[in-house]
Amino acid sequence: MNTEPLPMATPQTGLVVLREMARSHWSPLAALAVMRAKVGPIFQINLPGFHPAVYTGPEANRTILVTDREQLSWRNETDPVVQLLRRGVLVVDGAEHDKVRGIMDPPLHRRNVLPHIPAFWQYTDQVTAAWQAGETHDMLVEMRKLALLILVGTTFKVDFAPDMARMWQPILDLIEYISPGLWIVWPGAPAKAKHKRAAAVMDDYLYTIIRRRREELAASGAEPEDGDLLGKLIAAPEMTDDLIRDQLLTMLIAGHDTSTALLAWVLYLLGVHSTARQAVVAEVDAVIGAGDAPPTIEQINRLDFLDQVIKETLRLYPPIHVGNRRMPQEQALCGYRVGEGTRVMYSIYLSHRDPEHWRDPDAFCPARFARGSEEKVPPFTYVPFGGGPRNCIGAAFAQVEARTVLARLFQRFHFDLLDGERVHAHMGATLEPRPGVKMWVTPRRG
Ligand code: HEM
């Protein structure tokens, strides 16, 4: 094979990495940034028990997401996410993936998501109804409640409110289970008892939903509507209850934890950047006004500045900051030799902050996404939703959801950030603002 070995850090660079990590509360993101700066856009991490190949930049992203995607597998058998989601669309390969994705794609097309706008609006009201004037709330918690109500309410057509309290801790435990942990250096580490218990509670919840919907659909004899994801899964003859459980759990986790992080990061960034916050409020007032009626599709489409804020937030804090693959046999990838079984990661976070492609990459600057902006980056430099045939199935859903929820929040409330200096990016299952986004919330109108 006429290829180079993957570049690694020299002992000197290793020391710089350690120094930077110590300076930034042991953040692995700081370590990755030093590796990118000192070793280059493609490198191998060499820690005891952990040697993934890390790829960054537009060429590498295109190779992994499109050109050479079939040389790589998504499934890494011992990863907790695979143990949990079993045959979920996120963690299966080849024809098996394409078949399930073919069933799940249409209900999540933009045209089938837009009719959910009134539901996104009303669920926002449902969460904020519990806020009293002048209280402080953690937006990481509030946005998780909202994202769960929305995801389960619109894609499963089940009201999550009665189960929220009972399911809250199991959901957090399952997210912890799939977050980076001991399993990274000890593949196949056994699940903790609390994770097993959480999975059992979740299974009970999901199988009950599936059984009920099967009975309802059989009794009515009606075809599920276009946007009814659970209905479409049940109507597909090849989908057993076990396979549907795997898809529902995939949607529940991938579809709410990401939106939670995005919404919380937007509120945090607008809490820090008051000029941008004022511009969002002015735009919402001009386009939507003060009324309680849900906005039209046309109004949602006109929230240009809010859209730039959402895009810039996804650039700085991509909720999925890295995509994981596995190299099934030794092969060349972008001219470097990658050994059999190596974990391959494309770092969305590093691509989004690459000084070679972005002007002032660490600065919050929504205008870089304005129509006609002079800042142009090559395709596949900005990949918050991945790319190619296995891009995020919920990309349209997440963007319409974010615009509608944020428009309603800023139409009705003033948000003041408290303890903003303590907020840092934490690498859990998603990139989250920890320890949370504490905000002082006051209604704008009497
Ligand atoms: C801000 C919100 C979101 C972000 C940033 C995001 C990001 C991503 C990314 C980067 C990928 C590709 C990962 C890779 O290449 O390895 C992905 C895949 C996926 N996302 Fe999302 N996502 C979001 C919201 C959602 C929502 C709302 C849903 C469900 C309604 C969803 C369901 C999925 C699924 C099922 C996949 C796997 C697709 C496949 O492999 O065919 N995501 N997401």
pLDDT tens by residue, 12-37: 888 888 888 888 878 889 999 999 99
Q: What CATH number did the domain enclosing 326 receive?
A: 3.30.43.20
Q: Is residue 223 part of a domain?
A: no
- Nearest atom of ligand 1 to the alpha carbon of 91: 40
Q: What is the pTM of this model?
A: 0.97
Please state the domain count of the chain. 1
**Which parts of the chain sit beneath pLDDT 70?**
1-2, 446
Say what the pLDDT of residue 186 is.
87
Q: Ligand 1 in contact with 250 (CB < 6 A)?
A: yes
Give pLDDT, residue 1.
60
- CA nearest neighbour of 236 among 109, 108, 112, 100: 100
**287-309 confidence digits (pLDDT tens):** 999 999 999 999 999 999 999 99
**Spatial contact of 37 and 1, defined as CB atoms under 8 Å apart:** no
The CB of 116 under 6 Å from ligand 1? The reply is no
Segments forming the whole domain that contains residue 39: 1-71+321-383
Residue 195 lies in a domain: no
273 in any annotated domain: no
Residue nearest to atom 23 of ligand 1 (CA): 258
Ordered strands of the 135-138 beta sheet: 135-138, 438-443, 413-417
Residue 227 Cβ inside 6 Å of ligand 1? The answer reads: no
How far is the centre of ligand 1, averaged over its atoms, from the C-alpha of 326 (Å)?
A: 18
pLDDT attached to residue 62: 98
In a domain, 37, yes or no: yes
For residue 101 and ligand 1, the question of a CB distance below 6 A is answered with yes
Q: Which of 66, 74, 307, 320 to mutate to test the pocket of ligand 1 (most atoms within 8 A of CB)?
A: 320
168 falls within a domain: no
Residue nearest ligand 1's atom 19 by CA:
392
Residue 130 lies in a domain: no
Q: Is the CB of 90 under 6 A from ligand 1?
A: yes
Q: What are phi and psi of 6, to 5 degrees?
A: -65, 135
Please check whether residue 364 lies inside any domain of the structure. yes
Residue 351's region, left for phi above 0, alpha for psi from -120 to 50, else beta, is: alpha
Look at residue 380 in the predicted model and tell me its pLDDT: 98
Separation of 255 CA from ligand 1 center, angstroms? Answer: 7
Residue 342 in domain: yes
Cβ–Cβ under 8 Å, residues 300 and 403: yes
Q: How far is CA 226 from CA 80, 115, 421, in A?
A: 33, 11, 45
Residue 209 phi/psi, 5-degree rounding, is: -60, -45
- 190: preceding bond cis by omega (within 30 degrees): no
